[in-house]
Amino acid sequence: MNLTDSNLYEELRTFLKEHQVSKNETQIEQHSHDESYHKVSPPDLVVFPENTDEVNAVVNVANAYQTPIIPYGLGTSLEGHVIPYDHGITIDFSQMNKVLVVREKDFLVKVQPGVTRSQLNKELKKYGLFFSVDPGADATLGGMAATNASGTTSVKYGVMRDQVRDLEVVLANGELIHTGSLAQKSSSGYNLNSLFVGSEGTLGCITELTLKVYGIPEHVVAARASFPSVNDAVEAVVSILQAGVPIARVELVDEPSMKQVNMFSETHYKEQPTLFLEFHGNEAGLNYDVEFTKEIVADHQCEEILFEQDNAVRNRLWEARHNLAYAYVHGNPGKKLMVTDVCVPISELAGAIEHAREKVNELGLNGGITGHVGDGNYHILLMMDMDDPNEVKKAEQLNEQIVDYALQRGGTCTGEHGVGVGKMKYQQREHGEALRVMKKIKSALDEKEILNPHKLVHQKKTDL
């Protein structure tokens, strides 16, 4: 069906208001890319549903017209996830942005998919609760579930998959299902929560999420520790984890990245490999953890460790860390961000980061290394001149080399950003025969292949 013919638009307008179906050039452009360097491609239409029934009706129309549907949260993903390579209808969830129920006693919250993590935390604060997953961008919870996002606190609280109790999902054929329950544990049936979390909009549209939340800790202490080398910093993290210190956050920022932090956030932190740390707990336990950590980092040549209890100073510290990718973007106008994202077993982390730095230097690239090192997850941030084919080729080579290194050591090609189009080429190598099972699941749930085509498991186009 040719979408320039107005049938589809008219059909959508029978149940969506004028402002809910857009062909506006600016909105089409906004939905033709994510935050990555991947090739852009526009949708034909963008729709803004306000409830599950409307999502359902859009899916039914798309089904009848065999038109692609691309679920869209805020478009902050980094591997081309939301780019409509076959055009079609982008479903923007920004108008489904209500916190529906807070079940304080159950530590659960039910939200619509367009609620962002900071919006949720603002609401939860009134109840003395917080939601733990905090990717660098202020993403939507629907997008975060669909990518199995994680962030600085995952070392203690787990990733998005660990927080999802139940999802309401509109399937490609228009059926509405729930993937879980409110119960804390269950041995009933296949684990559909886990299947839909990380499915990147290829298996269904998430229209509601029930998520686990936590009590705001009684005491929080943050710290900044500087080391002479990245290797010393990483070895210190491994020792902290091996000693069983219940660390809530531990982030590595290398020397070039500390320079970017200081320039962008107007801070005056030491420009050396640095660990940003945080401890949550009661005062007595926390004092013990802090003292123990001081001893451990001293054994790894830590040159300075500064602790912060003041709320405002702590927030500033984490804001500076969260803004790191934006600091690189801001400091390199005209260039595009490529962030690598591998995850290795913690015992392999120091070697992996050392290997990554060697490769960056060998290729003559300019990149900073940072990571959620408590999870064995690290990133290289590269600012690329997309008009320089040599630089692009080198960046791709680097990506290949660090993925290879991770896979050879039992790691994964993506710790948190997901597959999108960028990591599809590694799926066979990482999953082997299991990829065939994934493709069968995709075909069973999306027979006509209308849901976010050419992503995660399917690659029909050769030039992506």
Ligand X SMILES: Cc1cc2nc3c(=O)[nH]c(=O)nc-3n(C[C@H](O)[C@H](O)[C@H](O)COP(=O)(O)OP(=O)(O)OC[C@H]3O[C@@H](n4cnc5c(N)ncnc54)[C@H](O)[C@@H]3O)c2cc1C
Residue 90 lies near ligand X (rule: CB under 6 A): no
Q: Which stretch, 75-83, 103-111, 236-244, 285-293, contacts ligand X (CB under 6 A)?
A: 75-83
Residue 70 lies near ligand X (rule: CB under 6 A): yes
Question: Residue 353 has which token pair?
Answer: 């980061």
Using a 10 angstrom Cβ sphere, with 0-12 exposed, 13-18 middle and 19 or more buried, the burial of residue 81 is: buried
Place of tokens 């460790």: 305
Residue 452 lies near ligand X (rule: CB under 6 A): yes
Give me the amino acid identity at 110: K
Give me the amino acid identity at 404: D
In the set 108, 205, 305, 346, which binds ligand X (CB under 6 A)?
A: 205
Which residue lies nearer to ligand X by CB, 43 or 71?
Answer: 71
CA–CA separation, 253 vs 317, rounded Å?
12
In the set 74, 102, 277, 381, which binds ligand X (CB under 6 A)?
A: 74
Residue 71 lies near ligand X (rule: CB under 6 A): yes
CA–CA separation, 182 vs 164, rounded Å?
10
Which residue lies nearer to ligand X by CB, 88 or 136?
Answer: 136
Which residue lies nearer to ligand X by CB, 35 or 235?
Answer: 35
In the set 42, 43, 68, 75, which binds ligand X (CB under 6 A)?
A: 75
Question: Residue 380 has which token pair?
Answer: 């290289």
Which residue lies nearer to ligand X by CB, 206 or 241?
Answer: 206
CB of 130 to ligand X, least distance (A): 17
Residue 406 lies near ligand X (rule: CB under 6 A): no
Residue 368 lies near ligand X (rule: CB under 6 A): no
Q: Which residue is nearest to ligand X (CB)?
A: 143
Residue 78 lies near ligand X (rule: CB under 6 A): yes
376 touches 343 (CB < 8 A): yes
Per CB under 6 A, which of residues 411..430 are in contact with ligand X?
Answer: 416-417
Using a 10 angstrom Cβ sphere, with 0-12 exposed, 13-18 middle and 19 or more buried, the burial of residue 460 is: exposed
Residue 68 lies near ligand X (rule: CB under 6 A): no
Torsion of CA 410, 143, 99, 47, to 10 degrees: -160
The helix/strand/coil state of 410 is coil
CB of 61 to ligand X, least distance (A): 17
- Contacts of residue 409, defined as CB under 8 A and 6 or more positions apart, other chains included, come to 344, 345, 348, 351, 352
Q: How many residues bind ligand X (CB under 6 A)?
A: 37
What does the DSSP assignment read for 87-147? --EEEEGGG---EEEEEGGGTEEEE-TT-BHHHHHHHHHTTTEE-----SS--BHHHHHHH
Mark residues 15-54: x for contact with ligand X by CB under 6 A, - for none. -------------------xx-------------------
Torsion of CA 400, 402, 407, 413, to 10 degrees: -70
Residue 457 lies near ligand X (rule: CB under 6 A): no
Q: Which stretch, 45-53, 59-67, 143-151, 273-281, contacts ligand X (CB under 6 A)?
A: 143-151
CB of 288 to ligand X, least distance (A): 29
Per CB under 6 A, which of residues 145..204 are in contact with ligand X?
Answer: 146-147, 149-151, 200-201
Which residue lies nearer to ligand X by CB, 146 or 302?
Answer: 146
Q: Which of 133, 155, 156 is nearest to 146 (CA)?
A: 133
Residue 143 lies near ligand X (rule: CB under 6 A): yes
Q: Which stretch, 15-23, 131-139, 174-182, 242-250, contacts ligand X (CB under 6 A)?
A: 131-139
In the set 77, 260, 401, 427, which binds ligand X (CB under 6 A)?
A: 77
180 touches 210 (CB < 8 A): yes
The number of beta carbons lying within 10 Å of the beta carbon of residue 105 is 5
CB of 244 to ligand X, least distance (A): 25
Beta strand pairing status for 45-47 and 89-92? parallel
CB of 42 to ligand X, least distance (A): 15
In the set 58, 109, 137, 171, which binds ligand X (CB under 6 A)?
A: 137
CA–CA separation, 358 vs 363, rounded Å?
9
- Contacts of residue 193, defined as CB under 8 A and 6 or more positions apart, other chains included, come to 161, 164, 165, 166, 167, 179, 180
Residue 85 lies near ligand X (rule: CB under 6 A): no
Place of tokens 């107005």: 6
Mark residues 317-336: x for contact with ligand X by CB under 6 A, - for none. --------xx----------
Residue 73 lies near ligand X (rule: CB under 6 A): yes
CB of 128 to ligand X, least distance (A): 25
Q: Which stretch, 19-27, 140-148, 254-262, 296-304, contacts ligand X (CB under 6 A)?
A: 140-148
| Beta sheet of 89-92, edge-to-edge order | 21-22, 45-47, 89-92, 69-72
The helix/strand/coil state of 364 is coil
Question: Which residues contact ligand X by CB under 6 A?
Answer: 34-35, 70-78, 81-82, 93, 113, 135-137, 139-140, 142-144, 146-147, 149-151, 200-201, 205-206, 325-326, 416-417, 452
